[in-house]
Chain A
Amino acid sequence: AQSVAQPEDQVNVAEGNPLTVKCTYSVSGNPYLFWYVQYPNRGLQFLLKYITGDNLVKGSYGFEAEFNKSQTSFHLKKPSALVSDSALYFCAVRDDGNYQLIWGAGTKLIIKP
């Protein structure tokens, strides 16, 4: 069965510091991994995805994520956080044998000035 975990309900980071939002997954086939961001009272916006290729994926707004097959992780990172990065972040996964995306519960990212 597919599953995804975001172990932190909330992450607090000072502006200008690097940030990491964690995601681990479990699938039976090859993983398709996604990160989305949700600002208050808005829909989800696509940030980046890993399907195949380079383990380091670059996405929107300066975010990147690293696919680590041995640790079954796909952590979201940014070298220097902005207050405007404060939002809810979702990781999602499916494998190449399934149509359905499985979503993590979300991590609230708070960037303090």
Chain B
Amino acid sequence: DAGITQSPRHKVTETGTPVTLRCHQTENHRYMYWYRQDPGHGLRLIHYSYGVKDTDKGEVSDGYSVSRSKTEDFLLTLESATSSQTSVYFCAIKGWVETGGADTQYFGPGTRLTVL
């Protein structure tokens, strides 16, 4: 168990409203990731972070921003939600080298977001 929690677990919102999803980890992992999962697409990387205040874009970053002010928290913000952002969002961390987890990503339980 990589100690990853996501909040909220479910959210319904309306088009044009801002939404923030939170990922929290308890084991001081340096790398954190945000993905979205859509049928037929697998997982697609939105943004990732390699340390406090160090973030970079993934393949589907348009319409999303992230922040990481503390090691344990990685926030994903939809500035103005659209129906195309209806999806399941997963946070992940990269495991420790010492425990054989290097290069392995471990996932949170997900947030199901519906934009009406």
Contact = CB atoms under 8 A, between A and B. Distances in A.
Given A41-B110, A43-B90, A90-B42, 19 more contacts: A34-B104, A34-B105, A36-B107, A42-B109, A44-B43, A44-B90, A44-B107, A46-B104, A46-B105, A49-B103, A49-B104, A92-B42, A100-B58, A100-B59, A101-B43, A103-B42, A103-B44, A104-B42, A106-B42
Interface string B24-59: 000000000000000011111100100000000011
A105 B104 contact: no
Considering the complex of A and B, which 10 residue pairs feature the smallest CB-CB distances, nearest first? A103-B42, A43-B107, A103-B43, A44-B107, A105-B42, A43-B109, A43-B110, A104-B42, A105-B40, A106-B42
Interface of A: 32, 34, 36, 41-46, 49, 51, 90, 92, 99-101, 103-106
Interface of B: 40-45, 48, 58-59, 90, 92, 103-110
Contacts of A106: 42
A37 to B, nearest CB: 11
Contact of A100 (B45, B103, B104, B106): B45
